[in-house]
Amino acid sequence: MTDSKFELKKKSFTQLRDEFLAGNYDESWEEHNLAMNELHNKLEDVSDLVPLLESGSKHCQYVAAYIAAQEGNGAASIFPYVFPLINSAWSEVRDEACDCFLNCTEDPAHYLALLKLLEDVEQSIRLRVITIIFGLSDKVIEGIYKLTKNVDSLADIGLGMRILMEGYEQSLAQEFIQFNNFENNKASVVCTYVAAYKHLGDSPEFKSTMNRLGESDISKHYHIYFEEE
């Protein structure tokens, strides 16, 4: 299929969606993107994305999750269909599904599931989750912590939430850095990094903390978001 941009503009939302479902845009990335943008332009109700989200197709789910992320909080009503995609076999789909969280949900259970992607095989997704942690509200942080209480397998996340609740200046975060007990504590390390930023801002002291944590994803995140050009 080789539709031009002009030909795509003549098609309705339903036509474009049906063609995505039929796999018509799977072969050409350029045409795929043109059709995706045109689909978004013609979107009238986010619920019309649900067939794409439920399709089982990488291309369709990616398109729908991407558009949902662009819609921001306007996509909250379809978030129950987006949420399962954080466990997609396709990293592109997982990535776009993650991008919907802060705008679409305040359910601590959703974020507890998301935090498990701190161990995702793709660094880009791990970095996206770190960025999301920066945006968590106090209410969500407390809610996640409550879900981890008395659950041994979630102790790392629970410790991380405690660090965020108590603050970087409190003893828990300081002891965590002092004793360098980072093995099997990815969430706690990341939360210490986030808590340090909230307390220290983008300062030399924050950079020093980042270096002391010595974690590769955190170093990469710092380089992308805080390092001066």
**Residue percentage of the chain with pLDDT more than 90:** 82
Q: What is the mean pLDDT of the chain?
A: 93
Residue with tokens 């955190």: 218
Which pLDDT does position 170 carry in this prediction? 82
Tell me if 41 sits within 8 A of 17, measured CB to CB.
no
| Helical segments of the chain, H only | 5-9, 13-21, 29-41, 50-53, 58-71, 79-82, 91-98, 101-104, 108-115, 123-134, 138-148, 155-166, 171-178, 186-200, 204-213, 216-225
Q: What is the mean pLDDT of residues 70-86?
A: 98
Question: How confident is residue 2, by pLDDT bands cut at 50, 70 and 90?
Answer: low
Q: Does 229 have pLDDT greater than 70?
A: no
Structure-token match 């269909």, residue found: 81
pLDDT at 1 over 60: no
Looking at residue 3, its pLDDT comes to 64
Whether pLDDT at 73 is above 90: yes
Average pLDDT over residues 64-85: 98
The span from the CA of 228 to the CA of 202, in Å, is: 11
Across 39-43, 125-129, 135-139, 212-216, least confident range:
212-216
pTM of the model: 0.91
Once rounded to an integer, what is the mean pLDDT over residues 136-154?
96
